[in-house]
Amino acid sequence: MMVNANFVVLTTNRSGSEWIISTLNNFQGVSAHGELFLPRPRILNEKWDADFAYTRFIETKFKSFTFRPFSVFSYLNTLYGMPGNVGFKLMYKQLGLYPEILAYFMKHRIRVLHLVRQNHLDVMLSYAVKAKIGRAHLLVGQSTPDELRVELDAGNLVRQLAWLQKQQDIARKLLTWFKLPHLEVTYEDVVRDQTHYFHLIGDFLSINSREQMPKSPLTKIRKATHRDMISNYDQVKQILSTSKFAGLLE
C-alpha cells in the first residue's frame, strides 16, 4: 500500500513543466497545480486547469494576515492539507523570492521532482515562440500558426545559455546541501520514454503509475527543427560554434 507523499516540481520556465504537472494531475489521487508563487493574479482563459486552479499565494489572505515566513507556512499547510498526493510547480526564481519555502520543505520532507531541460537553446527558442504567438501553452485541438519562425538574440545568447546552466547547478547544490528527498529527470528523457519515466516519477512520489498512463491536455507547440524555426539560424550557429554550447544546435 502506497503512502501519500506531497511534492513540488522544481524547475525553470519553458522546461516542459506544465506538461509534466498536467499529466501528474490526471493520475488517480493526485492533485497537481501550477505556479502558486507566481507574483501576479491568475488569468484562466483557455488554461488546462481553468476549472479547478488553486488560488495563488498572492491572491490569498495569507499574504497580509501575518508576517512571513508564517504566512507562507500557513498557505503551504492549507495546500498540503488536502487529501491525496498534492504538489505544485515552483520556479528557481520564485524560490529565491520565498527562501523560507526551503525550510518548510525540510521540516515536512516534501519530495522534490527536479525537472531540467538539457537543451538550453530549446528553452530560449520556447521563450521566443511564446512571445510571438502570445501564449505559453496550447490545449489539444488547438493549432500553432503556419510557418512559425522566430529570431533569437544572438548577441546575448551565450550569456543567457550560461545563466540557465548556472541556475540548474545552483538548484542541484541546494537540494544536496539541504538533504531534501529529490529525483532529477530531464524533459528530453521523459518525452522519449514516457512510460518508463512516469513509472520512475510515480515510484518516487508514491503514485500508482503502473496501472495507468494518463495523457496531458496540452499539445506540443514546436514541432519543426532548429533550422526551420530560427530565422537567423546561420548567425546563431556561428555564435555557438566557438562556445561550449555548440552541441545544442540541431
Place of cell 495563488: 56
Cell of 104: 518548510
Q: Kindly state whether residue 1 falls inside one of the protein's structural domains.
A: no
Percent of the chain with pLDDT over 90: 71
Most confident of 124-133, 136-145, 174-183, 206-215: 174-183
Cβ-proximal residues to 226 (8 Å cutoff; 6+ apart), any chain? 121, 125, 233, 249, 250
Q: Kindly state whether residue 25 falls inside one of the protein's structural domains.
A: yes
Report the pLDDT value the prediction gives residue 48, as an integer from 0 to 100.
78
Domain that holds residue 37: 7-248
Burial class (CB within 10 angstroms; exposed 0-12, middle 13-18, buried 19+) of 238: exposed
Sign of CA dihedral 68, 49, 126, 196: positive
Answer whether 148's CB lies under 8 Å from 224's CB. Answer: yes
| DSSP one-letter code for 13 | T
Whether the pLDDT of residue 19 is over 90: the answer is yes
Binning pLDDT at 50, 70 and 90, where does residue 221 land? confident
- pLDDT, tens digit, for every residue of 73-130? 999 999 999 999 999 999 999 999 999 999 999 999 999 999 999 999 999 999 998 8
Q: How far is CA 220 from CA 52, 60, 176, 216, 228, in A?
A: 22, 32, 32, 10, 16
Report the pLDDT value the prediction gives residue 210, as an integer from 0 to 100.
76
Query: Which amino acid does the sequence have at 72?
Result: V
Stretch 135-155: mean pLDDT: 79
Average pLDDT, the chain: 90
Sheet with 30-35, edge to edge strand ranges: 30-35, 85-91, 7-11, 111-116, 182-186
Percent of the chain with pLDDT over 70: 93
Q: Kindly state whether residue 152 falls inside one of the protein's structural domains.
A: yes
Whether the pLDDT of residue 1 is over 50: the answer is no
Task: Name the domain count of the chain.
Answer: 1
Q: Kindly state whether residue 2 falls inside one of the protein's structural domains.
A: no
Stretch 66-71: mean pLDDT: 84
Report the pLDDT value the prediction gives residue 63, as an integer from 0 to 100.
65
CATH number (domain holding residue 38)? 3.40.50
Q: Name 35's bridge partners.
A: 89
